[in-house]
Amino acid sequence: MARKVTKAIFPVAGLGTRFLPATKSIPKEIMTLVDRPLIQYAIDEARAAGIKEFIFVTSRGKGALEDYFDHAPELESSLRKKGKDQLLEVLKSTNMESGAIAYIRQHKALGLGHAVWCARRLIAPNEPFAVILPDDVIAAEKPCLQQMTEAYDEIGGSMVAAMEVPPERASSYGVLDIREDMGSIVSVKGMVEKPKSNEAPSNLAVIGRYILSPKVLQNLNKIKSGAGGELQLTDAIALEIAEGRDVYGYRFRGQRFDCGSKAGFLQATVAFGLARPDLQTEFADYLRQMVSLQKAAQ
């Protein structure tokens, strides 16, 4: 049986320029879907999958992220005095045990592969690890990374979350070259980062959840910069295949939102708003009104 995955790397160093001016003073990962920052969704998903240690690869200007996971003694005592137990409970999910969280700085924006490489000293040579990209928010009955760790326990290797995308969108993703399609698990014979649209080996795209062999960290030392002039995680995983080790794509059950784009973020806000029992009725009524007003105006 494969070794349990207990560490996850969260690359959160990006500047978030697509969300300027908001991201001038707040990290993109603190932007909220309903009332929880993006990063909280990622952490909850990691915890559900059995992750115990959280490694954040950050950069300048991301201090708000560190504060977010810290205890807030004044706020907590004021809530306690007022008997606001429910809110205290909500705050608990933001607290990290001392020592469970580590921050590493990525000093230059050299790509996702480089960000993961920055955390290499925190991963033991025989230790598989997860990577979660908080921009990819996945609504699922069983959290996506948990689905993957369960599959990984059975099959081992390295594993990436995968999803079919329209062929004309494939060039925005890492794309899998399929060796054998076994349904939810796909054995992979190659991976290409952001292929030209006529060169994509399939339309099965990599989504931001990975369970990786520690060898991928060594591979990151061997590869050169790839698509966009950046050090690509996809290329380091592809080297696993070239060196004869197993790599799988995992078709997760769930809906993925690209919260790195404005349209995706808005869609996620609507979906998560509608899924919230405390907002559902009022929000759905409002959306219905909006739609009928739009129709009437056409």
Burial of 297 (0-12, 13-18, 19+ CB in 10 A): exposed
Specify the residue, 79 or 144, whose C-beta has the smaller distance to ligand G1P. 144
Q: Which residue of the chain is nearest ligand G1P when measured via CB? A: 174
**Distance (Å, whole) CA 15 – CA 10:** 14
Using rule CB under 6 A, residue 213 touches ligand G1P: no
Nearest residue (CB) to ligand G1P, 79 versus 192: 192
Footprint on residues 216-235 left by ligand G1P (CB under 6 A): 233-234
**What span, in angstroms and rounded, lies between the C-alpha atoms of 10 and 96?**
15
Stretch 247-266: interaction string toward ligand G1P, x if CB under 6 A: -------------x------
Q: How many residues bind ligand G1P (CB under 6 A)?
A: 13
Of residues 134-163, those binding ligand G1P (CB under 6 A):
136
| Minimum gap (Å) between residue 106 Cβ and ligand G1P | 14
Would you count residue 19 as binding ligand G1P (CB under 6 A)? no
Q: How far is the CB of 230 from ligand G1P (least distance, A)?
A: 8
| C-alpha closest to that of 123 among 57, 68, 70 | 57
Q: Give dist(CA 49, CA 145) in Å, integer.
A: 6
Identified binder of ligand G1P from the candidate list 29, 45, 193, 235, rule CB under 6 A: 193
Instruction: Report residue 108 as tokens.
Output: 């230059």
> How far apart are the C-alpha atoms of 138 and 255, rounded to whole Å?
5
Name the token pair of 228. 């966009």
- Cα 276 to Cα 177, 272, 281, 282, 283: the distances in Å are 38, 6, 9, 11, 9
Taking the complex as a whole, the smallest distance from the CB of residue 234 to ligand G1P amounts, in Å, to: 5
10 binds ligand G1P (CB under 6 A): no
Residue type at 45 in one-letter notation: E
Residue 211 binding ligand G1P, by CB under 6 A: no
The residues binding ligand G1P (CB under 6 A) are 112, 133, 136, 173-174, 193, 205-208, 233-234, 260
